[in-house]
Amino acid sequence: MSFKLGLTGSIGMGKSTTAQMFVDLGCALWDADAAVHRLYAAGGTAVAPMRDAFPGAIVDGAVSRAALRDIISNDPNALQRIEAIVHPLVAQDRAEFIANAQAEILVFDIPLLFETGGNSAMDATACVFVPDDVQEARVMARGTMTRDQFLAIRAKQLPAAEKCARADYVIETDSLEHARAQVQNIVSQISQGSPHA
């Protein structure tokens, strides 16, 4: 029976980089965002039900995230309807991953792990963390969003301190070396059968 580790953290905290460190140590990774991309891509299982509910969201046979953003901004009930379609499909994708995974440790990269109650399906949880000013500087350096957009996203997520308080492990991503050492320590503890140490 594989050990399920939920990995979370707010935008700009280094979650994707940290998730790859677990993969480098032989863990299998399921990425919630990647699962949604698969479902939305041409031929993905979300395309037909989304076409039925929101015909304008389909562009070139795939679900357009830009079109969805427009729909959500114009219709206060749209997000709930979208989630009702997508969440069961994401859960199915995750179940298939669990059924087929061979690794001893399965890592689930889920941005809203605590917000959605996904932590209840995990054996342990880990939260990546950097201070607020470092987080903001990293996101702004990407050049992909305005400060207002970043603050709006951060406002929708649980405060980082609360996520860290609820997590079994906190991984400080202030440097790659420090983060890698913490990941190795977590993998060692789980492998030795003593998680939460």
Entry pTM: 0.89
Residue 140 CB-density burial (10 A; 0-12 exposed, 13-18 middle, 19+ buried)? middle
In the chain, what is the greatest distance between 2 CA atoms, to the nearest angstrom?
A: 52
pLDDT at position 155: 85
- Return the bridge partners of 105, or none: 3
* Residue of 34, 39, 30, 32 whose CA lies nearest to 57: 39
Amino acid 193: pLDDT: 85
Amino acid at 61: G
The pLDDT of residue 197: 43
pLDDT tens across the length of the chain (197 residues): 799 999 999 889 999 999 999 999 999 999 999 999 999 999 999 999 999 999 999 999 999 999 999 999 999 899 999 999 999 999 999 999 999 999 999 999 999 899 889 999 999 999 999 999 999 999 999 999 899 989 988 888 889 899 999 999 999 999 999 999 999 999 999 999 866 54
Rounded-to-integer distance, Cα 73 and Cα 149, Å: 14
Any residues with CB less than 8 A from the CB of 41 and at least 6 apart, and which? Answer: 47, 62
Identify the CATH assignment for 1-27+104-197 out of 3.20.20.100, 1.10.287.130, 3.40.50.300, 3.40.50.10260.
3.40.50.300
Q: Residue 1: its pLDDT value, please?
A: 79
- In order, the DSSP letters of the chain are -PEEEEEE--TTS-HHHHHHHHHHTT-EEEEHHHHHHHHHSTT-TTHHHHHHH-GGGEETTEE-HHHHHHHHHH-TTHHHHHHHHHHHHHHHHHHHHHHH--SSEEEEE-TTTTTTTGGGG-SEEEEEE--HHHHHHHHHHHTSS-HHHHHHHHHHSPPHHHHHHH-SEEEE-SSHHHHHHHHHHHHHHHHTT-TT-
pLDDT of residue 129: 95
Q: Which regions of the chain carry the CATH code 3.40.50.300?
A: 1-27+104-197
